[in-house]
Amino acid sequence: MIGISNLKKKYNGVTVVNIPELIIKRGETIGLVGNNGAGKTTLFRMMLDLIRPDSGEVLSDEKNVAESEAWKDYTASYLDEGFLIDYLTPEEYFHFIGGLHNKSKAQVDSELPAFSEFFNGEILKKGKYIRDLSKGNQTKVGVAACMIQNPQILMLDEPFANIDPSTQIRLKNMVKDISREKHITTIISSHDLNHVTDVCERILLMEKGKIIKDIATTSNTLQELEQYFSVLS
């Protein structure tokens, strides 16, 4: 589904991403872990064609993301608040995003109740613009907007970071469900090792721009990761 080759990015002489090869198969659930500055977000941004790589390419469905826009049809992502149109109400935003994927307002409205548990009554019909929501609630809007797009690839950058424990668990279940039922390729970065090892079947560990570990999740993975991070500090 996604192929990365010789991907490199430098800022001021410091290599922030350097990935010779990475292949992500359809339907895989990938967890991306690594300390701050390991290059996770930069990698995401290059995969979404937001940053031009110094060299190498990211192929999505065999097409280079920098050259073809076809990936936008089946890729949904939420990295940060910069992805939200903050002067819209959440409803307006969902309608807009749905409209881009040829869904009518009524269709979007009929899908929204499925998120009522996830939203916990804090998003819809509140009469607030997105900019007036808390960061956690903004994350909820961003994630739900991703789901509305019925993507084949889902990318979330630290989705667990700002949301409350109940919502974290709901989000985990949601991701698990859709990746199982709809066979979606999911890439999630997180600092919460418990959550990633729980959700993801494959873990990529980044350090200084490189993927230094690429492991299939087993019962030992959590321990292994914890050991890595504790030794490092």
- The binding site for other proteins (CB under 8 A) comprises 48-52, 69, 72-73, 75, 77, 79-80, 82-89, 91-92, 95-97, 99-101, 127-129, 132, 149
CB 60 to other proteins: min, Å: 12
List phi, psi (to 5°) of 14: -100, 125
Least spacing, CB of residue 100 vs other proteins, in Å: 4
- The DSSP bridge pattern shows strands 55-60 and 63-64 to be antiparallel
Cβ-based nearer residue to other proteins, 122 or 207: 122
Nearer to other proteins, 124 or 169 (CB): 124
Give the residues across from 64 on adjacent strands.
Answer: 59
User: Of the two residues 101 and 213, which places its CB atom closer to other proteins in the complex?
Assistant: 101
Q: How far apart are CA 203 and CA 138, in angstroms?
A: 26
Closest distance of CB 145 from other proteins, Å:
9
CA–CA dist 108, 201 (Å, integer): 31
Q: Considering the complex, what minimum distance in angstroms separates the CB of residue 134 from other proteins? A: 12
Please say which residue, 149 or 167, places its beta carbon nearer to other proteins.
149
- Give the CB-side neighbour count of residue 213, counting CA atoms within 13 A: 17
Tokens 């889902």 sit at which residue? 154
DSSP state of 70: G
